[in-house]
Amino acid sequence: QKEVEQNSGPLSVPEGAIASLNCTYSDRVSQSFFWYRQYSGKSPELIMSIYSNGDKEDGRFTAQLNKASQYVSLLIRDSQPSDSATYLCAVNRGADGLTFGKGTHLIIQP
C-alpha cells in the first residue's frame, strides 16, 4: 500500500516568514516527488519537482528530499498572502500514477 502522509493543518504563518511543509511516504521504490498548490475550487498546480537527494531551489520555493528517511519538504520564503492554499505532496515510481497526500492547508497572515 503506497501512502503519503501530510499534516492537514491549518498551518498559520505570518507574512514575510518562512513556511515549512512536510511529507513522508511509504514506498521505498519512489523515484519522483512533486509539490502541487491547490486554491479552493481549482485544480492542482505544479510548483516543484525533485528527483534526487538534497535541495532544489526555484525562486522563493525550496524542495528538500531525503530518500533514506523517506521524507520530502517544501520551504516557502518571504511568504505572501497569495501563498495561502492547500499544498499537496505527490510521489510516484516514474511513469505510473501519482500517489497524493491529503494536503496541508497553509494560511499566511497579513
Of 99, 6, 86, 78, nearest in space to 45 by CA: 86
Give min distance, CB of 10 to other proteins, in A.
12
Output 71 or 100, the one with its CB closest to other proteins.
Answer: 100
Using DSSP's 3-state secondary structure scheme, residue 90 falls into strand
Report the relative pairing of strands 11-14 and 104-109 from DSSP bridges.
parallel
CB of 37 to other proteins, least distance (A): 11
Task: Give me the helices (H) in 46-105, please.
Answer: none
Of residues 38 and 70, the one with the C-beta less far from other proteins: 38
- Determine the Cα–Cα distance for residues 44 and 74; give it in Å rounded to an integer: 16
Minimal distance, residue 45 CB to other proteins, in Å: 7
Q: Which is nearer to other proteins, 10 or 16 (CB)?
A: 10
Closer residue to other proteins, CB minimum distance, 19 or 36 = 36
Smallest distance from other proteins to CB 90, Å: 7
Question: Which chain residues interact with other proteins by CB under 8 A?
Answer: 4, 32, 34, 36, 42-46, 49, 88, 90, 94-103
Among 42, 81, 86, 35, CA closest to 56: 35
Half-sphere exposure of 108 (CA within 13 A, CB side): 20
